Structure 1
Amino acid sequence: MKHLIFSDLHANLYGLEKVLEYASSNNINKIYCLGDLIGYNSFANECVDLIKKNNIKSIKGNHECLLLGEISMDTCKTERSQNAINVTQNLITKENSAFLKDLPVEMNIEDSICVHAGFHSIYETINTFNKAQPNFNVLQKRGHKIAFFGHTHRPGVYSKKIGTENIDQIGFEKTLFLDDQNLYLINPGTCGEPRHGLPYSFIVYDDEQKSIDFEIFQLSANQMESVKKNNRKIFGTTSFKRLPNQVKEKSRKLYYKIGKIKDNFSGRSI
């Protein structure tokens, strides 16, 4: 079976529509979301409605937990995400809020397991070998060889040969064939909120061929402007209350931009 797996949608309606368009024309059997359906962008109800309509199996991310009050807003570090959560709490329908509340924090896809960020925390970031190691330990103890995770918005794969301590980081090169002697931690990236020059992306897992296809896509200029326009309409732009934290956030982004922090990636554009 072919499983389309995406993560970190963040209420981007056009990103979700791209996923659904691909699935309908590429013989995808099932679709899965690794959490953070909402947050940052302003199409929360529209996205959750489509998730439900298309029977997309999903798990909770940290943004769902923030929205539902399951974790403290003090753990949310950016002004933009805090404001988006606060506004979305007042806009989300009761039905969609109940749907999000009922989402599990883990799920299985055949012989693999899915978590939002890692096995230890909803905020865990698996972005180094040292951070990957304890997750491999849990993966092996629980009897799985493959884990899919999101949260970092960075597509990539960590692999570890069973019986060794050697961990490799693998860049996506169109199709990756999985070795039965390895353990894998696989991140599909984000289809709603890319960062650091990375693309919108998702993956297709073929459990019979034991392969991963990495797919990237772009939104049109009109679609991107529509997201920004609706965000301004729903979330507002600035206020005296928000301004100090907005300045701090823009300074942090400028620091990363000057540093030209980007990731190397390759993939197949759709």
Structure 2
Amino acid sequence: MKIILFSDIHANLPALEAFFADVESHNPDAMYCLGDLVGYNIWPNEVINEIRKRNIPTIAGNYDFGIGRASNDCGCAYKSDDEKANGSVSISFTNEVVGEKERYYLRTLPAHIKIEFQLNNDKLNLLLVHGSPRKINEYLFEDREEKSMIRIMEQADADIMCFGHTHKPYHRVLNTNERFRHAVNIGSVGKPKDGNPQGGYVLLTINENSSVFDRDSINVEFIRFDYDVEKAAKAVEDSYLPNAYAESLRRGI
């Protein structure tokens, strides 16, 4: 089974449209969105409705959670006063322009999706979250202590855990008593922060021989794609959103 996983679009319609075009070449069996459809750009309604019309199973991101409740808090961990000020403008703008039907959709999104496979008499659990199983806005960075990551996955009964939120893709394989667990950050479609402005997503392949006891039987492919970054950046600059968000798109930071 070929599963497409994508996340953190953040109202970037040009990136989402390019993503959908890129995905077609992979002919996936399933597709899931791990949240944060809105925030930081001008197309929250358009992005939501592109997801809805395709009936893509989607979980709530922290930004979706806030906008769904018309909150002025997106659950974002801003580090500086400038970031906090810019963040206030972004959530105010998004709350102002998002439609009521779209807000209701965000409010009713589930927190997690869990998929159980039965292969070779083994159970294989795939868990999809936005930040972590414990908290929608917890950041699971690649340098998270191994013991901590294993504990999180064990408590959630997750053999493969896929998540977003940090906008920095990685794949870690954790070995616990010769049982392999896979932690996968799928990156960001519309606001990458790994120094590469291309959008990103993951193709996860699970086959009939996949097993928790064979680390190489589960394949994770990170895919990057081009989109009209300048169109997305110019849209920010032509709005009253902070110009810093345009620069972050151009630089992938």
Query: Which bracket does the TM-score occupy, shorter chain normalised?
Result: 0.7 to 0.9
**TM-score, scaled relative to structure 2:** 0.79
Q: Is it true that 1:124 corresponds to 2:138 in the alignment?
A: yes
Residue number in structure 2 paired with 1:184: 182
Q: For 1:38-66, what per-residue CA distance to the aligned partner results, in whole angstroms no more than 9, with x for missing partners?
A: 11111111110100011111111111122
- For 1:150-165, what aligned pairs fall within 5 Å after superposition? 150-163=164-177
- For 1:129-140, what aligned pairs fall within 5 Å after superposition? 129-131=143-145, 133-140=147-154
Is contact 1:125-1:131 (8 Å) kept? no
- Aligned partner of 1:216 among 218, 224, 233: 224
Q: For 1:133-180, what per-residue CA distance to the aligned partner results, in whole angstroms no more than 9, with x for missing partners?
A: 33421322333211001111111012210227xxxxxxxxxxxxxxxx
| 3-state SS in 1 of match to 2:238 | helix
Tell me the distance in 2 between the aligned counterparts of 1:130 and 1:195.
17
**TM-score, scaled relative to structure 1:** 0.74
| 3-state SS in 1 of match to 2:239 | helix
Change (3 A) 1:128 1:50: closer
Residue number in structure 2 paired with 1:178: none
Residue identity opposite 1:57 in structure 2 = P
Q: Extract unaligned runs of 5+ from structure 2.
A: 117-124, 211-217
Tell me the distance in 2 between the aligned counterparts of 1:16 and 1:145.
29
Change (3 A) 1:29 1:192: same
Q: For 1:77-112, what per-residue CA distance to the aligned partner results, in whole angstroms no more than 9, with x for missing partners?
A: 333332121111111111111111110111124430
Is contact 2:68-2:104 (8 Å) kept? no
Residue number in structure 1 paired with 2:156: 142
Residue number in structure 2 paired with 1:35: 35
Tell me the distance in 2 between the aligned counterparts of 1:20 and 1:139.
30
Residue identity opposite 2:186 in structure 1 = P
Tell me the distance in 1 between the aligned counterparts of 2:219 and 2:47.
28
Q: Extract unaligned runs of 5+ from structure 1.
A: 165-180, 239-245, 263-270
Residue number in structure 1 paired with 2:204: 205
| 3-state SS in 2 of match to 1:59 | coil
Is contact 1:126-1:152 (8 Å) kept? yes
Note the aligned Cα RMSD (angstroms): 2.7
Tell me the distance in 2 between the aligned counterparts of 1:72 and 1:136.
34
Change (3 A) 1:21 1:128: closer
Residue number in structure 2 paired with 1:241: none
Tell me the distance in 1 between the aligned counterparts of 2:226 and 2:65.
29
How far 1:237 sits from its partner (Å)?
A: 5.1
Give 4+ residue runs of structure 1 displaced > 6 Å after superposition. none
| 3-state SS in 1 of match to 2:127 | strand
- For 1:1-270, what aligned pairs fall within 5 Å after superposition? 1-69=1-69, 73=73, 75-76=75-76, 77=78, 78=83, 79-110=85-116, 111-131=125-145, 133-163=147-177, 181-198=179-196, 199-208=198-207, 210-219=218-227, 223-236=228-241
Residue number in structure 1 paired with 2:120: none
Q: For 1:225-250, what per-residue CA distance to the aligned partner results, in whole angstroms no more than 9, with x for missing partners?
A: 22122223333558xxxxxxx8xx9x
Residue identity opposite 2:233 in structure 1 = K
Tell me the distance in 2 between the aligned counterparts of 1:135 and 1:109.
20
| 3-state SS in 1 of match to 2:93 | helix
Tell me the distance in 1 between the aligned counterparts of 2:71 and 2:152.
23
Is contact 1:42-1:235 (8 Å) kept? no
Tell me the distance in 2 between the aligned counterparts of 1:37 and 1:237.
19
How many pairs are equivalent? Answer: 225
